[in-house]
């Protein structure tokens, strides 16, 4: 058995005109053991870079000196220590990143990729849907042209947010604009490609129901976060008003929270994020939980290439996988360099990486080159969760 001897939070950043955006930042965790083994994990940046960085340091106090080969036991020990883990995004993402790194170390010690430690793969190629492809798209023509490019790349599914700057409510003009964009994409890609509608959890139930009625004729594969994450009653109202599939889960921070949505029939496709659900230890449990309720799974996978590698490991063992989200083709080059570009998308699929642990080689030199001090993220009119350049009207 080896002890956890060091846990280091690392901020990577590429600045744009002197400031960083969350999409140009990654937060990694480097875990080192008493026998020199190294594992990497990834945490969520958004607008909380400094908070998460500092929380990793605090959470580390609960892991240092523990057995590196016992990630499940270590997770529960931190759950015991941190009274607010089920309510703290910062603690949840710090814990998730450390848990990932411990599974990476365990796999390396045993000479096997993580998926083999979890029962083995049910597929060796992961179907992925495209996201991030519609940057600066505003008009229907913009969306259609960019969607055609995505299909030429071999993708069989793509996700996008057609709602521009609308928040909470939406008027007839907004409904018409959204419908025109969705119609343009559907006509551009044809009927055999899944189009997935991202709401970013920003509407009330009445608005989201109006949206569903307008868009149901375009046969969307799912409607993601149609209402605010915490609006359980709004979600019930939405589910009773439409037959469209609901996808959600990127803000879930534990298996019991996931159970509330899955067990109550509020979600058709659950989207846990390995960077805040509780890492591999909890992510695998959500797979089994969702399978028991005939709910499909599509891991949220929007941050960096380390997250992507772990998401591929979990997707490999999920018999109820729908698609895996994919930003990889729209990552800045440096994010792909961190894993030596080993998780390329080919024909809408990614081969499951099978090196020990995380499955890929980690480029520590590239990490050193991108290291940065944790800083605040600037806040602009266009929120950080928007695909850049789409937060405006075209007419």
Q: What are the catalytic residues? A: 200, 300
CA terminus-to-terminus distance, the chain: 64
199 touches 162 (CB < 8 A)? no
Spatial CA neighbour of 52 closest among 314, 377, 365, 370? 377
Question: Looking up tokens 């994919």, which residue turns up?
Answer: 326
Asked whether the CA dihedral 19, 374, 387, 330 is positive or negative, the reply is positive
Spatial CA neighbour of 44 closest among 356, 359, 377? 377
165 Rama sector, left if φ>0, alpha if ψ -120 to 50, beta otherwise:
alpha
287 touches 307 (CB < 8 A)? no
CA–CA gap between residue 335 and residue 301 (Å, rounded): 14
184 touches 158 (CB < 8 A)? no
Token pair, residue 79, equals 């759950």
Question: Looking up tokens 């875990």, which residue turns up?
Answer: 31
89 touches 59 (CB < 8 A)? no
Token pair, residue 276, equals 């805040």
Alpha carbon 77 to chain centroid distance? 25
Distances (CA, A) of 157 to 112, 188, 287, 302: 31, 13, 21, 16
**Complete DSSP assignment for 329-344:** GGS-HHHHHTTTT-S-
């Amino acid at each position: 058995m080896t002890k956890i001897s060091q846990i280091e939070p690392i901020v990577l950043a590429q600045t744009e005109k002197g400031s960083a955006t969350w999409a140009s930042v990654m937060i990694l965790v480097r875990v080192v053991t008493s026998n020199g083994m190294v594992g990497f994990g990834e945490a969520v940046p958004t607008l909380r870079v400094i908070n998460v960085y500092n929380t990793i340091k605090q959470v580390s106090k609960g892991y240092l000196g523990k057995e590196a080969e016992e990630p499940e036991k270590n997770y529960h020990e931190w759950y015991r220590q941190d009274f607010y883990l089920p309510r703290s995004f910062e603690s949840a993402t710090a814990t998730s990143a450390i848990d990932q790194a411990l599974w990476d170390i365990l796999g390396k010690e045993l000479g096997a990729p993580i998926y083999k430690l979890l029962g083995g793969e049910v597929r060796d190629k992961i179907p992925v849907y495209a996201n991030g492809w519609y940057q600066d798209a505003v008009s229907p023509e913009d969306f259609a042209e960019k969607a055609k490019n995505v299909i030429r790349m071999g993708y069989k599914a793509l996700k996008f947010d057609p709602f521009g700057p609308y928040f909470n409510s939406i008027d007839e003009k907004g409904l018409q604009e959204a419908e025109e964009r969705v119609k343009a994409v559907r006509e551009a890609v044809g009927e055999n490609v899944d189009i997935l509608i991202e709401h970013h959890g920003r509407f009330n139930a009445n608005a989201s129901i109006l949206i569903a009625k307008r868009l149901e004729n375009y046969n969307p594969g799912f409607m993601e976060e149609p209402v605010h994450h915490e609006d359980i009653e709004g979600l019930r109202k939405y589910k009773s008003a439409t037959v469209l599939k609901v996808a959600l889960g990127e803000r879930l921070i534990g298996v019991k929270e996931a159970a509330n949505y899955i067990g109550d029939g509020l979600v058709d496709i659950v989207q846990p994020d390995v960077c805040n659900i509780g890492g591999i230890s909890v992510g695998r449990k959500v797979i089994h939980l969702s399978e028991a309720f005939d709910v499909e799974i599509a891991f949220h996978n929007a941050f960096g290439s380390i997250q992507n590698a772990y998401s591929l490991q979990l997707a490999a063992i999920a018999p109820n996988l729908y698609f895996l989200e994919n930003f990889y083709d729209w990552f800045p080059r440096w994010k792909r360099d961190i894993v030596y570009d080993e998780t390329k998308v080919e024909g809408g699929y990614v081969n499951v990486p099978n090196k020990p642990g995380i499955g890929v080689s980690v480029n520590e030199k590239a990490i050193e080159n991108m290291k940065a001090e944790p800083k605040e993220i600037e806040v602009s009119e266009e929120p950080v969760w928007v695909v850049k350049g789409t937060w405006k009207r075209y007419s």
